[in-house]
C-alpha cells in the first residue's frame, strides 16, 4: 500500500508541474480577450480528467491491496495451523490462491514470499501486485504497484494438559506393523514437541501424564517406595469408610502425595482402589468427585491402598477371573505431575512399555482430573491464576471397560464384560463432572472400531466429533489426530 501511495504522490507532482505554467500563462490574458474563457475551459479540463483518473485508478489500487492483504492473512493462518508439518508452505499458498483470484482487476502478483522463524514461532508473508492503469496512463504512468504483508505468531494462552494413556494388555497388540503402545508413544511425543516447539521449557505450559489399566499407580513416576518413610498425619477424627473404624490420621508414602487410609505394606506397588462402596447406595461414593470430601455422610479423606497381587490391605483375596486371567497388576509407571519441561515429559512417555492388565477407563480419566486441578492431592496447578488458562485432558484408549479381580473397583460390578454397564455409568458421571468443572476432554478411540465404544466415548468427550472425539484405526492416523489436538490447543493470532 505504501508503494501505491508513493506512485499517486508522484503523479500529483507531475500533474502539478503540467498545470502550473499553463495557469500562469492564462493569468497574462486580459479579462476581456476574445476566446479567453474557451481556452481556460479547455485547459481546466486537463487537470479535471487527471484528478478523476487518479481517483479512479487509486480506488482500483486500494481494492487490489485490500484483497491482497486478506489473502495473505488467510494464508498465514493456514500455515500457522500446519506449523509443524511439511505441508506448511503448500497450505499457505493454497489459501492465498483461493482468496486472491488470478487476474483480479488485471493485477499481476509476485509472491507470496514466505519466511518462517521456527524458534520464534512466526510466519511472515509478503506479496506485490502491479495494476494496469486506465486514466493515469494519459500522463505516462501505465501501472500502479502495491504491496502487502502479514505475520502470524503461533502462541498459546496458558495451558495445563494431562495425557491419560491406556496401558492395558491390548495395547501390546500389533496394529499396522507396530504395537499399539509404540504408536501411542510416537503420537504423544508429537503432541509434546508441537506444543513446546524448540523450547526446552515454556512459561504457562504445564503437562502431566497418567498411565492406567485396571487401576492407577499414584506414586510419582521414577520414585522408589520406602515403607519405613511412611508418615502418619493427624486429622480430624472420621470414620474409615472401608472398615467403619474411627481414626484420626491418614498416611503418606514417601513417593506419593496421595493420602492413604492405612499404612501401605512393605511390598506396596503404588496403586489404590476407587473411593466406592458396594452398598447399593451411589450417594455416598466419591469416585466421580474431585477432592477428598464427605459425600452422603461418608468421610472420604483418603484412598485405600492396594496390597500385593491386588489384595485389599483391609482384607480379602485377589482371585483368578473367568478364563484364568491373572489379577490386575499395578503398573510400574507412576504419575508425572504437571511440569513445564519438554524432556521430562518425553522421557515419561518413552517409558510407557509392557502394557498389561484390564481396561478401567474411569481410573485413567479420574486421576487425570486430579492431577490437572490445584486441589490436593496434586497441587502443581496454579490456584486462581490472574491470566487466561485452558485446562484439558487427552484420553487415549483401545478398549471397552472390562472388570478384573484386583482392579480399582474390586470387581464389585461383576467380572469381565459383566461389569461394563456399571463401569460405563461411573465413567459418564465422572466425565460430566469434569466438563462441568471447565475442563476440555479430548478422547481418542484407537484401533478399535466398536460402535458401542464409540457411542460411549463421544459422550465422554467435550464434543461428539473433531477436535474432541476421534477414531484412529492405525498409528499414522493417530499421529494426525494428536497433531490436530495440539493445533487446537494452540492459539493463533495476527501479530502485525
Write the CB contacts of 55 (distance below 8 Å, at least 6 apart in sequence). Answer: none
pLDDT at 317 over 70: no
β-pair type (389-397, 440-446): parallel
Backbone angles phi, psi at 413, to 5 degrees: -90, 0
Question: What residues does each domain of the chain span?
Answer: 2-154, 158-223+269-491
Question: What is the C-alpha to C-alpha distance for residues 357 and 330, in angstroms, rounded to an integer?
Answer: 8
Identify which of 101-115, 175-189, 306-320 has the greatest average pLDDT: 175-189
Q: What percentage of residues in the chain have a pLDDT greater than 90?
A: 65
pLDDT tens digits for range 151-209:
988 766 799 999 999 999 999 999 989 999 999 999 999 999 999 988 999 988 999 99
Q: How far is CA 204 from the centre of its chain?
A: 14
pLDDT tens digits for range 259-299:
999 999 998 999 999 999 999 898 999 999 988 789 999 99
pLDDT tens digits for range 443-479:
999 999 999 999 999 999 999 999 999 999 999 999 9
pLDDT recorded at residue 494 = 65
pLDDT at 11 over 70: no
Question: What is the C-alpha to C-alpha distance for residues 115 and 141, in angstroms, rounded to an integer?
Answer: 32
Name the CA dihedral angle for 293, 294, 295, 299, rounded to a multiple of 10 degrees. 110
Take residue 422 and report the three cell numbers written for it. Answer: 456399571
| DSSP string computed for 382-434 | PSS-SS-EEEEEEEEESS---B-TTSTTTTTT-SBGGGHHHHHHHHHHHHHHH
Question: What is the C-alpha to C-alpha distance for residues 387 and 364, in angstroms, rounded to an integer?
Answer: 28
Write the CB contacts of 315 (distance below 8 Å, at least 6 apart in sequence). Answer: none
403 close to 359: Cβ distance less than 8 angstroms: no
Peptide bond into 96 cis (omega under 30): no
pLDDT recorded at residue 1 = 45
Question: What is the C-alpha to C-alpha distance for residues 230 and 348, in angstroms, rounded to an integer?
Answer: 25
pLDDT at 55 over 70: yes
Confidence of residue 364 (pLDDT cuts 50, 70, 90): very high
pLDDT recorded at residue 19 = 54
pLDDT recorded at residue 60 = 84
User: Grid cell 460405563 — which residue?
Assistant: 424
The CATH homologous superfamily to which domain 158-223+269-491 belongs is: von Willebrand factor, type A domain (3.40.50.410)
Take residue 341 and report the three cell numbers written for it. Answer: 519441561
> What is the DSSP code (8-state) at residue 136?
G
Take residue 37 and report the three cell numbers written for it. Answer: 474563457
pLDDT recorded at residue 322 = 38
133 close to 142: Cβ distance less than 8 angstroms: yes
pLDDT recorded at residue 170 = 96
pLDDT tens digits for range 328-360:
789 999 999 999 999 999 999 999 999 999 999
pLDDT tens digits for range 112-156:
999 998 777 889 999 999 988 876 666 667 788 899 999 988 766
Question: What is the C-alpha to C-alpha distance for residues 45 and 398, in angstroms, rounded to an integer?
Answer: 80
19 close to 46: Cβ distance less than 8 angstroms: yes
Q: Residue 416, SS3?
A: strand
Global model pTM greater than 0.85: no
Question: What is the C-alpha to C-alpha distance for residues 303 and 285, in angstroms, rounded to an integer?
Answer: 12
pLDDT at 28 over 50: yes
> What is the DSSP code (8-state) at residue 29?
S
Neighbours of 136 (CB within 10 A): 25
pLDDT at 487 over 60: yes
pLDDT tens digits for range 220-264:
999 999 999 999 999 999 999 999 999 999 999 999 999 999 999
Beta bridge partners of 344: none
Of 88-102, 319-333, 411-425, give the lowest mean pLDDT range: 319-333
Amino acid at each position: 500500500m505504501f508503494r501505491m501511495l508513493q506512485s499517486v504522490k508522484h503523479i500529483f507532482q507531475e500533474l502539478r508541474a503540467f498545470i502550473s505554467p499553463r495557469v500562469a500563462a492564462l493569468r497574462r490574458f486580459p479579462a476581456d480577450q476574445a476566446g479567453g474563457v474557451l481556452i481556460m475551459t479547455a485547459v481546466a479540463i486537463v487537470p479535471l480528467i487527471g484528478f478523476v483518473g487518479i481517483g479512479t485508478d487509486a480506488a482500483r489500487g486500494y481494492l487490489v491491496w485490500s484483497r491482497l492483504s486478506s489473502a495473505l492473512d488467510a494464508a498465514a493462518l493456514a500455515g500457522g495451523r500446519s506449523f509443524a508439518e511439511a505441508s506448511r508452505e503448500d497450505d499457505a499458498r493454497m489459501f492465498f490462491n483461493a482468496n486472491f483470484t488470478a487476474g483480479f482487476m488485471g493485477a499481476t502478483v509476485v509472491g507470496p514470499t514466505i519466511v518462517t522463524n521456527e524458534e520464534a514461532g512466526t510466519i511472515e508473508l509478503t506479496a506485490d501486485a502491479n495494476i494496469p492503469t486506465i486514466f493515469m496512463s494519459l500522463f505516462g504512468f501505465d501501472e500502479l504497484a502495491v504491496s502487502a504483508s502479514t505475520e502470524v505468531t503461533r502462541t498459546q494462552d496458558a495451558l495445563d494438559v494431562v495425557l491419560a494413556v491406556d496401558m492395558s494388555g491390548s495395547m501390546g497388540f500389533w496394529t499396522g506393523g507396530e504395537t499399539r503402545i509404540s504408536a501411542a508413544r510416537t503420537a504423544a511425543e508429537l503432541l509434546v514437541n508441537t506444543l513446546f516447539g524448540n523450547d526446552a521449557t515454556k512459561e504457562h505450559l504445564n503437562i502431566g501424564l497418567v498411565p492406567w489399566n485396571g487401576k492407577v499407580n499414584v506414586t510419582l513416576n521414577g520414585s522408589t517406595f520406602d515403607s519405613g518413610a511412611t508418615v502418619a498425619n493427624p486429622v480430624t477424627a472420621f470414620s474409615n469408610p472401608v472398615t467403619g473404624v474411627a481414626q484420626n490420621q491418614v498416611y503418606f508414602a514417601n513417593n506419593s502425595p496421595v493420602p492413604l487410609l492405612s499404612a501401605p505394606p512393605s511390598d506396596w506397588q503404588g496403586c489404590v482402589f476407587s473411593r466406592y462402596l458396594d452398598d447399593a447406595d451411589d450417594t455416598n461414593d466419591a469416585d466421580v468427585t474431585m477432592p477428598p470430601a464427605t459425600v452422603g455422610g461418608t468421610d472420604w479423606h483418603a484412598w485405600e491402598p492396594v496390597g500385593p497381587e491386588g489384595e485389599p490391605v483391609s482384607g480379602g483375596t485377589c482371585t483368578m477371573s473367568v478364563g484364568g486371567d491373572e489379577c490386575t497388576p499395578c503398573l510400574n509407571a507412576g504419575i508425572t505431575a504437571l511440569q513445564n519441561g519438554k524432556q521430562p515429559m518425553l522421557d515419561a512417555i518413552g517409558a510407557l512399555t509392557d502394557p498389561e492388565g484390564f481396561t478401567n477407563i474411569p481410573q485413567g480419566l479420574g486421576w487425570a482430573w486430579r492431577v490437572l486441578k490445584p486441589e490436593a492431592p496434586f497441587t502443581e496447578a496454579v490456584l486462581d491464576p490472574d491470566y487466561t488458562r485452558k485446562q484439558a485432558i487427552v484420553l487415549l484408549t483401545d478398549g471397552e471397560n472390562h472388570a478384573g479381580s484386583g482392579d480399582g473397583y474390586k470387581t464389585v460390578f461383576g467380572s469381565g464384560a459383566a461389569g461394563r454397564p456399571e463401569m460405563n455409568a461411573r465413567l459418564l458421571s465422572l466425565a460430566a463432572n469434569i466438563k462441568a468443572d471447565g475442563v476440555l476432554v479430548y478422547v481418542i478411540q484407537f484401533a478399535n472400531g466398536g460402535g458401542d465404544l464409540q457411542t460411549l466415548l463421544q459422550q465422554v468427550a467435550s464434543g461428539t466429533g473433531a477436535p474432541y472425539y476421534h477414531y484412529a484405526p492405525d498409528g499414522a492416523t493417530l499421529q494426525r489426530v494428536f497433531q490436530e489436538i495440539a493445533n487446537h490447543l494452540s492459539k493463533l493470532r495476527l501479530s502485525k
